[in-house]
């Protein structure tokens, strides 16, 4: 009986986590979209596909950029530094 309850709990927990991940990915995508409004449509769509393919990478990058700006870096320099760090992964996604 406890095993069944434990299984149900773990199943519900994993579904909740998946829902949170989708919500975070959606929020990041919205934020990036608003910052890409002046970008050409084809590049913007390519970026959106990359975000959809690996939202975890963009979440990790966003956290690192946020930390760097909290430490006094400008948003642009933080973005450049983090982008360089993940250049290889970004290039794979952008193909």
Q: Given pLDDT bands bounded at 50, 70 and 90, which one contains residue 19?
A: low
Kindly report, residue by residue over 20-63, the tens digit of the pLDDT: 667 777 777 777 777 777 888 888 888 888 888 888 898 899 89
Tell me the C-alpha distance between 95 and 6, whole Å: 43
Q: Which two tokens stand for residue 2?
A: 């406890």
- Segment 2-12 mean pLDDT: 52
Query: What tokens were used for 48?
Result: 């959106």
Q: What is the count of structural domains for the chain?
A: 1
Full domain range(s) for residue 28 = 2-94
Q: What is the 3-state secondary structure (H, E, C) of 19-31?
A: HHHHHHHHHHHHH
pLDDT at 51: 83
32 contacts 47 by C-beta, under 8 angstroms: yes
84 pLDDT higher than 90: yes
**Residues found in the chain:** 95
């Amino acid at each position: 009986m406890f095993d069944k309850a434990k299984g149900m709990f773990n199943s519900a927990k994993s579904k909740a986590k998946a829902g949170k991940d989708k919500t975070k990915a959606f929020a990041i995508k919205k934020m990036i979209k608003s910052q890409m409004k002046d970008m050409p449509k084809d590049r913007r769509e390519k970026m959106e596909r990359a975000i959809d393919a690996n939202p975890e990478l963009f979440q990790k990058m966003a956290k690192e950029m946020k930390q760097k700006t909290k430490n006094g870096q400008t948003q642009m320099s933080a973005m450049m530094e983090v982008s360089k760090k993940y250049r290889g992964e970004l290039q794979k996604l952008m193909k």
